[in-house]
Amino acid sequence: MQNSFKNVIFTGIQPSGMLTLGNYLGTMQYWRNFQNFSKCYFCIADLHVLTNCLTKKINFLKNSILDTLSWYLACGINPEKSIIFVQSDVVLHTQLYWILGCMSSFGELSRMTQFKSKLLLQPKNVNLGLLNYPVLMASDILLYQTNLVLVGEDQKQHLEFTQKIAKRFNKIYGKIFVIPKIFIPNLGKKIMGLQNPLLKMSKTNKNVNNVIFLSDSIEVALLKIKNSVTDSDTPPQIFYNPSIKPGISNLLIIASLLSKNSISVLEKKFKNYTYQQFKESVSEILKKFLIRIQKLYFFYRKNESKLYKILEKGSYIANLNSQKFFKKIRKKINI
């Protein structure tokens, strides 16, 4: 199963809840294409979810891991070609995390945007794990000599931190870590909320009508499109310009990415449509996509013993590969 390509690709998602159309269009849709040319690690980052458990018990992880894995498979990740594994199954992630943590300053971690906003919004829930969140991410990535990381726009700062910490280590102890590049697709990073097209479509959004979940029933998803905020231009005008027409532009991007038609082709097609007709067309495209991907999801999700086998095999390989490299790290720091 292992290919001998030079490129090593890493990505992961927290199994913390439901995946959104934004996750899919912003990063997951591209994952499958990398598998034929690179050694790919697809991680299910369960330890990162524990950053939410200062005040409450988390008891959904096992199911969430299987859900997330099934979505990976539905997106075309092939366990024969790629390494799919659960973060906590490879203990060296946390071992490297400690080492890198000792090389990260409190100041730089406390200045990270995601940390600052958590501190501002929910100061009572802020634990050390949240502060160190980017250090664990850096460990995930650097442990496999990754040269390309696939993420959505929201993870960009964490990736820049990873690059910084790898360079710092190399400078002090001698070159060992590969400095990973970041792949963030251009259009997909702009998927916005349906009720508030000025804010990103995010699973943590309080208003579920902003967000299309991959697991939404078709009726619910289509209702969200129908009720999405556009504008009141009369006559209606359908063209792409996110600054003056954020709602329409957002629907155009969604339709474009899902139908694989360029925005300009769609602009021509929808030129004389009313907003209602336009939304009906977008709904049609979305419906086709959701039916296809949900069918695949349920197909994989119902065979739990197969899912466990995939994870077992993935963690075996991830453990093997990381152990080899970790020996070299230990040597560098003389432990």
Catalytic residues: 118, 200, 203
Block residue for tokens 């209702």:
223
**Contact call for residue 12 and ligand TRP (CB under 6 A):** yes
User: DSSP assignment of 236-283, as one string?
Assistant: ------TTT-HHHHHHHHHHHHHHT--HHHHHHHTTT--HHHHHHHHH
By C-beta, is 137 or 201 nearer to ligand TRP? 137
> Counting contacts by CB under 6 A, is residue 35 touching ligand TRP?
no
Residue 40 lies near ligand TRP (rule: CB under 6 A):
no
Is 200 in a helix, a strand, or coil?
strand
Residue closer to ligand TRP (CB basis): 45 or 285: 45
Please give the full DSSP string across 99-130, using - where no structure is assigned. Answer: HHHTTS-HHHHHT-HHHHHHHHH-GGG--HHH
If binding is defined by CB under 6 A, does position 141 make contact with ligand TRP?
Answer: yes
Q: Which amino acid is at 308?
A: Y
Binding mask 96-135 for ligand TRP (x = CB under 6 A): ----------------------------------------
Q: How many CA atoms lie within 13 A of 52 on its CB side?
A: 13
Q: Which stretch binds ligand TRP (CB under 6 A): 56-64, 137-145, 261-269, 278-286?
A: 137-145
Q: What share of residues in the chain are helix, strand, coil (percent, to 5)?
A: 60, 10, 35
Per-residue x/- track, 153-182, ligand TRP (CB under 6 A): --x---------------------------
Q: Looking at 9, 14, 77, 104, which residue binds ligand TRP (CB under 6 A)? A: 14
Q: Which stretch binds ligand TRP (CB under 6 A): 41-49, 253-261, 272-280, 303-311?
A: 41-49
Of positions 9, 73, 112, 137, contacts ligand TRP by CB under 6 A: 137
Burial 23-60 (b: 16+ CB within 10 A, else e): bbbbbbbbbbebbeebbbbbbbbbbbbbbbeeeeeeee
Nearer to ligand TRP, 151 or 166 (CB): 151
114 or 215: CB nearest ligand TRP:
114
Minimum CB distance to ligand TRP smaller for 51 or for 228: 51
Q: Is 83 in the site for ligand TRP (CB under 6 A)?
A: no
Q: What angle do CA 257, 259, 264 make, to 5 degrees?
A: 70
Among the candidate windows 28-36, 40-48, 261-269, 270-278, which touches ligand TRP by CB under 6 A?
40-48
Binding mask 46-75 for ligand TRP (x = CB under 6 A): --x---------------------------
220: which residues sit within 8 A by CB, 6+ positions away?
none
For residue 111, CA distances in Å to 169, 208, 270 come to 20, 29, 45
Binder of ligand TRP out of 45, 69, 285, 307 (CB under 6 A):
45
The reply on whether position 140 binds ligand TRP by CB under 6 A is yes
Could you write out the DSSP letters of every residue in 3-66? ---S-EEEEEE--SS--BHHHIIIIIHHHHHHTTTSEEEEEE-HHHHGGG-SSS----HHHHHH
Least separation in angstroms between CB 12 and ligand TRP: 4
Interacting residues with ligand TRP (CB under 6 A): 10-14, 43, 45, 48, 137, 140-141, 149, 151, 155
